[in-house]
């Protein structure tokens, strides 16, 4: 079977339309000297150079034992090495498993164990976090960012290969490669847990293709250049490079989002499409207006969630604003028209997707009533095919043949969808999904804490702030400053709570479950300690 033949099902595109290996081969042949990725003012790769670098790293990984179907961890900041690692893993037919660079401690240990990976490509500044945790099946590290040799100074030393030694030629490939199909697993992306640890979302190539594909985003073309702000361990940060690779377009891939450098970067590199979290759009809107606000080439701007002043943003910056509802497991089922005029909308159901809003028994609720969103697609493999090593969680999510998002919505008579609340206990802070379970586990590790509830409370910047409500252990008192210092060494920076409230006992149901809804309703009370007001600033690690 060649790359352009997948039988008679028109819903399944050919390999060279949706599979990384064949896309790189195709565009290197057809658009070899065209720029695919710009990292900064100096570094950029054409399609030909991108493919050559990917093949070199793929051959090097194969020499270290990576085979088709293997899970390979990638724990790095956004960089040329991270993008090359991503595509090289997939070029071999192996599975790309990115890790949030803020992870440490038990969160990191869980992902390593759950992934079943034997090899990890890790930035040198992160290696020390592997000390003191179980490394499960890990047998080797490939280290980027510094010339590290020999073995790592870990409790269980691992051999190390410098990333620069992953080299090879196309002539060495044929014996390594077997066909890759659109339904093969392309990645495992860890998303926050709610009733347990983070789950690994299994995504096929066809899922990754469909997510921002032409059916979902028909207004995006191969002539566009997309500025990718999200880190590559998130679906946005890895999905957008894939979206433009599938279209034969180009991307700009800075290390991180910066309000000050945003428009200069856009203008310098001729960006035509941008994706902004609501908080990013708010930051940009608060800058003083300038005659230069429309002096750029951007025509498409996603804002998720849609901010209150979206239409003013569109007029001020001269862009068409779109919004969507999406999550790692699905494929953009709700997409808006340009510059939606309906306040708070997420858009309408796109072609190829069925959506229902239901009650706790999966029975549809009347129009205007609040219900959980369920989703399914016409195309096979266009959504996640489960959670890694979590059959019960997969069955719960897919019960009755529909994927249960866990999010509450309502609709209006015109078919607009409006997000109401999370039916689960995840928290979303500045673009990061946070597991309340994982925050609570670390808080409960403190000797002064008997019980804890973590919840999201509204932020003045949009989305949530993290609040914990704690009850002290017998004979103890909870010092918020000491507790925050304790958590800073155990949690990702974005998970460290802003608010700490202390109660003698947490309110509970008759079955002894904590009444989080009551605590959310009470919100930030007068007796709640505020980390910001205390002047304690938690910054991200600079890698």
Give the start-to-end residue ranges of the domains of the chain: 15-180, 225-372+408-422, 427-530
Mean pLDDT, residues 56-62: 96
Task: Check pLDDT > 90 for residue 440.
Answer: no
| pLDDT band for position 211 (cuts 50, 70, 90) | very high
R_g (Cα) of the chain, nearest Å: 23
Better pLDDT: 141 or 461: 141
| pLDDT band for position 191 (cuts 50, 70, 90) | confident
pTM here is 0.84
Report the phi/psi class of residue 510: left, alpha or beta, with left for phi > 0 and alpha for psi in -120 to 50.
alpha
Taking CA atoms, 273 is separated from 270, 296, 322, 420, in Å, by: 10, 11, 11, 28
CA distance 25 to 7: 21
Superfamily (CATH H level) for 225-372+408-422: ANL, N-terminal domain (3.40.50.12780)
For residue 6, the model assigns a pLDDT of: 59
By percentage, how much of the chain surpasses pLDDT 90? 69
Mean pLDDT, residues 154-166: 85
Q: Do domains 15-180 and 225-372+408-422 have the same CATH topology?
A: yes
Report the phi/psi class of residue 128: left, alpha or beta, with left for phi > 0 and alpha for psi in -120 to 50.
alpha
Task: List all residues 6 or more positions away from 248 whose beta carbon is below 8 Å from its beta carbon.
Answer: 27, 30, 31, 34, 222
Q: Which of 271-280, 316-325, 420-429, 433-442 has the lowest mean pLDDT?
A: 420-429
CA distance 261 to 446: 40
Mean pLDDT, residues 290-318: 93
Which residues on neighbouring strands pair with residue 119, listed in sequence order? 72, 140
| pLDDT band for position 2 (cuts 50, 70, 90) | very low
- The answer to whether 173 and 55 have CB atoms below 8 angstroms apart is yes
The CATH code belonging to domain 427-530 is: 3.30.300.30
Task: List all residues 6 or more positions away from 375 whose beta carbon is below 8 Å from its beta carbon.
Answer: 330, 333, 353, 354, 355, 383, 402, 403, 405
For the chain, give the mean pLDDT: 91
For residue 462, the model assigns a pLDDT of: 76
For residue 155, the model assigns a pLDDT of: 54
Better pLDDT: 191 or 94: 94
CA distance 91 to 97: 14
Q: Which of 131-145, 154-168, 476-490 has the lowest mean pLDDT?
A: 154-168
Mean pLDDT, residues 110-131: 95
Q: How many CB atoms lie within 10 A of CB 527?
A: 8
The angle formed by the CA atoms of residues 534, 535 and 540, to the nearest 5 degrees, is 125
The angle formed by the CA atoms of residues 513, 516 and 521, to the nearest 5 degrees, is 145
Which residues on neighbouring strands pair with residue 464, listed in sequence order? 458
Task: List all residues 6 or more positions away from 425 whose beta carbon is below 8 Å from its beta carbon.
Answer: 194, 195, 436, 437, 454, 455, 516
Report the phi/psi class of residue 513: left, alpha or beta, with left for phi > 0 and alpha for psi in -120 to 50.
beta
HSE-up of residue 41 (Cα within 13 Å, Cβ side): 5
The fold of 15-180 is Rossmann fold (3.40.50)
| pLDDT band for position 509 (cuts 50, 70, 90) | low
For residue 198, the model assigns a pLDDT of: 84
For residue 537, the model assigns a pLDDT of: 85
């Amino acid at each position: 079977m060649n790359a352009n033949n997948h039988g008679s099902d028109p819903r399944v595109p050919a390999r060279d339309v949706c599979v990384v290996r064949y896309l790189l081969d195709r565009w290197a042949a057809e658009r070899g000297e065209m720029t695919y990725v710009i990292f900064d003012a100096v570094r950029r790769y054409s399609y030909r150079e991108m493919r050559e670098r990917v093949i070199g790293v793929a051959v090097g990984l194969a020499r270290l034992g990576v085979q088709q179907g293997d899970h390979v961890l990638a724990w790095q900041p956004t960089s040329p090495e991270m993008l090359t690692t991503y595509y090289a893993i997939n070029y071999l037919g192996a599975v790309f498993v990115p890790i949030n660079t803020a992870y440490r401690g038990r969160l990191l240990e869980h992902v390593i164990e759950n992934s079943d990976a034997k090899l990890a490509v890790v930035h040198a500044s992160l290696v020390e976090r592997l000390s003191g945790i179980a490394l499960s099946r890990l047998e080797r590290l490939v280290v980027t960012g510094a010339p590290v040799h020999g073995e790592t100074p870990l409790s269980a030393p691992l051999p190390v290969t410098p990333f620069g030694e992953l080299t090879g030629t196309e002539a060495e490939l044929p014996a390594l490669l077997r066909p890759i199909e659109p339904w093969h697993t392309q990645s495992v992306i860890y998303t926050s847990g709610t009733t347990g640890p983070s789950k690994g979302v299994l995504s096929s190539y066809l899922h990754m293709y469909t997510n921002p594909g032409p059916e979902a985003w028909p207004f995006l073309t191969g002539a566009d250049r997309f500025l990718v702000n999200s880190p590559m361990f998130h679906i946005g940060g890895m999905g957008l490079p894939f979206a433009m690779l599938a279209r034969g377009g180009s991307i700009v891939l800075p290390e991180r989002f910066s309000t000050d450098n945003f428009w200069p970067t856009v203008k310098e590199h001729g960006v035509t499409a941008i994706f902004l979290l609501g908080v990013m759009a708010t930051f940009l809107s608060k800058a003083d207006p300038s005659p230069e606000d429309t002096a750029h080439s951007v025509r498409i701007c996603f804002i998720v969630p849609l901010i209150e002043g979206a239409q003013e943003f569109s007029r001020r910056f001269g862009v068409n604003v779109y919004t969507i509802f999406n999550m790692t497991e699905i494929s953009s089922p709700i997409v808006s028209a340009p510059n939606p005029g309906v306040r708070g909308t997420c858009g309408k159901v796109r072609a190829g997707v069925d959506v229902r809003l239901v009650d706790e028994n999966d029975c549809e609720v009347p129009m205007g009533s609040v219900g959980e969103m369920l989703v399914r697609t016409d195309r096979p493999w266009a959504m996640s095919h489960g959670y890694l090593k979590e059959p019960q969680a997969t069955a719960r999510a897919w019960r009755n043949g529909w994927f249960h998002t866990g999010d509450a919505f309502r609709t209006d008579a015109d078919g607009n969808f409006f997000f109401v609340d999370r039916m689960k206990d995840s928290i979303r802070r500045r673009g990061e999904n946070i597991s309340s379970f994982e925050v609570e586990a670390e808080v409960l590790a403190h000797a002064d804490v008997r019980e804890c509830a973590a919840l999201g409370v509204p932020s003045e910047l949009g989305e949530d702030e993290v609040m914990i409500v704690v009850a002290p252990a017998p004979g103890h008192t909870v010092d918020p400053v000491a507790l925050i210092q304790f958590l800073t060494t155990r949690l990702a920076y974005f998970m460290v709570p802003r608010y700490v409230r202390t109660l003698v006992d947490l309110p509970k149901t008759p079955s002894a479950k904590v009444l989080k809804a009551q605590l959310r309703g009470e919100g930030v009370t007068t007796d709640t300690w505020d980390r910001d007001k205390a002047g304690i600033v938690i910054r991200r690690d600079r890698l």
